[in-house]
Amino acid sequence: QSEVASNTIVSNAAISACEKCGEWEKALQLLSEMTQKTMESDTITFNAAISACEKGGEWQPALKLFSAMVGGNMKLDVISVNAAISACEKGGKWEKALRLLQFMVQNTVQLDTISVSAATSACKSAGEWENAMQLFSVMAFSNWRSLLIARQLPNSLNAINSP
């Protein structure tokens, strides 16, 4: 058992190193090798791979990994959602960023100001000033959780994954 945990830790460190070096393709390759070797992957593994894709400006593979986490009933955390939202921001996918925020709020994943800031930035970059200002005001009034739940946006994973 300790060998399996050790291998997972080493693989997580390697994927994280790929993220830091901007080698998103290598990070995905390492994750794929972990799966082929039936090594355990965990939230840390996926977070590092999503972050590597985000740093590489690759929103589609980032969202596929995020969806794999959800589909595999993995524990999502603030790092998971922030990396996925930031990938959407960098890819100019403001609607997906908003859907991710809403999805995560409805599924009680703890979001933070980074999550909302990245979604706000995605809206701003796309010229979606009304949405950006709405998120900014929600964040400023510290009631963003309940207001995001009330937003009338599609929230299915299919909507998150579609191009």
The answer to pTM > 0.85 is: no
pLDDT in tens, 52-69: 999 999 999 999 999 999
Q: What is the pLDDT of residue 90?
A: 93
Alpha helices in 22-77 (DSSP H): 24-36, 43-55, 59-71
What per-residue confidence (pLDDT) applies to 133?
A: 81
pLDDT for res 29: 96
Give tens-digit pLDDT for 13-28: 999 999 999 899 999 9
pLDDT value, residue 155: 42
Instruction: Please check whether residue 115 is in contact with residue 78, taking contact to mean a CB–CB distance below 8 angstroms.
Output: yes
d(CA 101, CA 4): 34
Q: Amino acid identity, residue 108?
A: T
Instruction: Note whether 78 and 112 are within 8 A (CB).
Output: yes
Output the pLDDT for position 140. 63
Q: What percentage of the chain reaches a pLDDT higher than 70?
A: 80
Q: How many Cβ atoms are within 10 Å of 78's Cβ, its own excluded?
A: 15
- What parts of the chain have a pLDDT lower than 50? 1, 152-161
CA 61, 67, 73, 74 torsion-angle sign: positive
